[in-house]
Amino acid sequence: MNTFIHRYEIDQSRPPAKQFWRDVAVRAILPAVVLGAVIVGVGYLITGPLNNLPGEHKVNVWFVEQRNATLNQVTHVISQIGNTPIAVSICIVMILILWWRTRQWWFALIPGLAMGLQALIFLSSSLIVGRERPDVSHLDSSPPTTSYPSGHVGASTALYVSLALVAQRIRNRALRVVVTILLLLCPPTMATARLYRGMHSLSDVLAALVNGTVCAFIAWNYLRRDTSSGRTAAPTKEAAAQNA
């Protein structure tokens, strides 16, 4: 058993409040600050010495040339799923489902923590770097945030990568593989849609994919767990009742 992937199955103990808040601060917020500094640094590099990566304009133009009515509608639907109200709603529903199924609030919070960390990094780096959106026609109205990094892609990545980690608890191997693949396809699909609609440059969505993925793993690792046994701890009465 992979002790990192299955850390919340190996140790199902409820964390004391003091440990919980300490771990959030030290193992989640602090690493996110470091990640945010890296994202900002790369953004300054792109908008400064690299002169906004002029070669990326060809990528944006290529996507514009592929536009048609069908793809416009499909990418519109995909892009709307990444809007803040919808993404947050999906996250809240998943948290409630996880809490209901496991009765472990510290585990159920993981998708929300991943999205929260991603959002803080996205908002701060967007404000600090202030990169302009691509010089092509936009199929969406521009939100008040700037182009770098993509908020839609970052939020989708944080949410669906964290859910892919959660999905490793699925017992049926075939179902687990299918669900994991479908979840991991969501971030690149969102990234492609945002490029197609002219809302971001390639480096914007790549930075967002990194941001969301790292935040998902930070969130997954935020709570100290005793995985020394390397095997699933004895199930609690609640877990046994659920599996009955």
Using only C-alpha atoms, the chain has a radius of gyration, in whole angstroms, of: 20
Cα gap 130→160, rounded to integer Å: 27
Residue whose pair of structure tokens reads 């010495």 in the numeric block: 49
**pLDDT tens per residue, range 188-206:** 999 999 999 999 999 999 9
- Per-residue pLDDT, averaged over 230-242, amounts to 47
Residue 226 CB: number of other CB atoms within 10 A?
11
Using CA atoms of 109, 90, 193, 32 in order, give the dihedral in degrees to the nearest 10. Answer: -20
Cα gap 44→50, rounded to integer Å: 9
- For 50, which DSSP code? T
**pLDDT tens per residue, range 135-192:** 999 998 877 678 999 999 999 999 999 999 999 999 999 999 999 999 999 999 999 9
How many structural domains comprise the chain?
1
Mean pLDDT of the chain: 92
Q: What is the rounded end-to-end Cα distance, in angstroms, of the chain? A: 23
3-state secondary structure of 218: helix
Q: Which amino acid is present at 119?
A: A
Cα gap 183→189, rounded to integer Å: 10
Q: Which domain holds residue 204?
A: 17-49+59-134+145-223
Q: Are 3 and 231 in contact (CB under 8 A)?
A: no
Exposure pattern of 165-184 as b/e (b: 16+ CB <10 Å)? Answer: bbbeeeeeeeeeeebbeebb
Q: Are 134 and 196 in contact (CB under 8 A)?
A: no
Q: Is 10 inside a domain boundary?
A: no
Q: What percent of the chain has pLDDT over 70?
A: 93
What's CA 78's distance to the chain center, in Å?
A: 16
Q: Is 41 inside a domain boundary?
A: yes
Give the global pTM.
0.89
Q: Is 54 inside a domain boundary?
A: no
Q: Is 69 inside a domain boundary?
A: yes
Cα gap 9→13, rounded to integer Å: 9
Q: Is 192 inside a domain boundary?
A: yes
Q: Is 115 inside a domain boundary?
A: yes
Cα gap 82→90, rounded to integer Å: 10
Q: Is 229 inside a domain boundary?
A: no
- Residue 51 scores a pLDDT above 50: yes
Using CA atoms of 231, 237, 243, 244 in order, give the dihedral in degrees to the nearest 10. Answer: 130
Q: Is 9 inside a domain boundary?
A: no
Cα gap 98→104, rounded to integer Å: 8
Q: Which amino acid is present at 40?
A: V
Question: pLDDT category, 237, cuts 50, 70, 90?
Answer: very low
